[in-house]
Amino acid sequence: MRNIKLVLEYDGTNYNGWQIQPNQPTVQATVENALAKLTKTPIQIIGAGRTDSGVHAEGQVANFHTTAQMPLIAFQKGLNATLPRDIVVCSATEVPAAFHARFSATSRRYRYTILNRAYPSALSRMTSHFYPEAIDVNSINDLCQILIGKQDFSAFQKTGSDRLNPVCEVDEAYWWQKNPYIYFEIEADAFLRGMVRAIVGTLLKCIKCQDAETELRRILEARDRSIAGMSAPAHGLSLISVKYNDKTYANPALTDNRKVFVENRTEN
């Protein structure tokens, strides 16, 4: 039995999230159907992040077990020939039997993209959130320092979530700019459902307050979703990479560009 790891890129617009749901199009179901056609046997695939409806991925990691003996390149090319064009396999590698895309992950990184100018875009309307109001990147980055570390993020958990432990450890959280876009990136050991979009909406809300730092701390300490900001729209969010034992897996075509962008981001 082989254990195959995939790195996937997908546009989540037409899917009701990653995880299989009855009578709904999902990324997981679509990939599993393609694998079944390719290997002639049912296969269950495990994803590192359960992205919500409309959320994208540039570096989703998944794995599956199979007895199929085809070469790895055949998995990549065969899946890309079978999958719809809004889902792409960036790489396929063989990993140890114990590797589990979700439970072996030590952290995940998400990016939220905001189009920050006076008029919207026809081309990036499904991958960025149009926000015409000015954003002071340096000031909002000061607020992000409050998010760093291990703490209870109940204030940013989607209502109705069944997760019992709301404590997450955020390693990085910062905004950077490449006009006309502003990006928010956050990496943590775990994420609550809807957490990133709730954080983005709350930071944009707090930055308008007279004492933004006090307001953000009040929201965190209250642990009450109803007093935080509105969630930013799903289509601006993307899972960009997953880390395992200090090794990060992402779409290899994007890694170099991202490094240049981050090095040139607006610093505090």
pLDDT of residue 231 exceeding 80: yes
pLDDT tens digits for 95-124?
999 999 999 999 999 999 999 999 999 999
pLDDT tens digits for 117-146?
999 999 999 999 999 999 999 999 999 999
Record: fold of 107-263: Alpha-Beta Plaits (3.30.70)
Write down the pLDDT at residue 26.
Answer: 98
Percent of the chain topping pLDDT 70: 91
Q: What is the CATH number of domain 2-94?
A: 3.30.70.580
Q: In the predicted model, what is the mean pLDDT of residues 15-26?
A: 96
pLDDT band at 252 (very low <50, low <70, confident <90, very high): low
Type of residue numbered 74: A
**Cα–Cα distance for residue pair 149/66, rounded to 1 Å:** 39
Write down the pLDDT at residue 250.
Answer: 65
Report the b/e string of 230-257 with b at 16+ CB within 10 A: ebbbbbbbbbbbbbbeeebbbbeebeee
Nearest residue to 30 via CA among 86, 90, 110: 86
Q: In the predicted model, what is the mean pLDDT of residues 173-177?
A: 96
Q: Which residues on neighbouring strands pair with residue 94, listed in sequence order? A: 4
Whether 52 is catalytic is yes
Write down the pLDDT at residue 4.
Answer: 98
pLDDT of residue 266 exceeding 60: no
Domain boundaries, the chain: 2-94, 107-263
Which residue of the set 52, 86, 136, 189 is catalytic? 52
Write down the pLDDT at residue 251.
Answer: 67
pLDDT of residue 222 exceeding 90: yes
Q: What are the C-alpha distances in Å from 110 to residues 98, 199, 207, 243?
A: 25, 12, 21, 12
Contact, 184 vs 160, CB < 8 A? no
Same fold, 2-94 and 107-263: yes
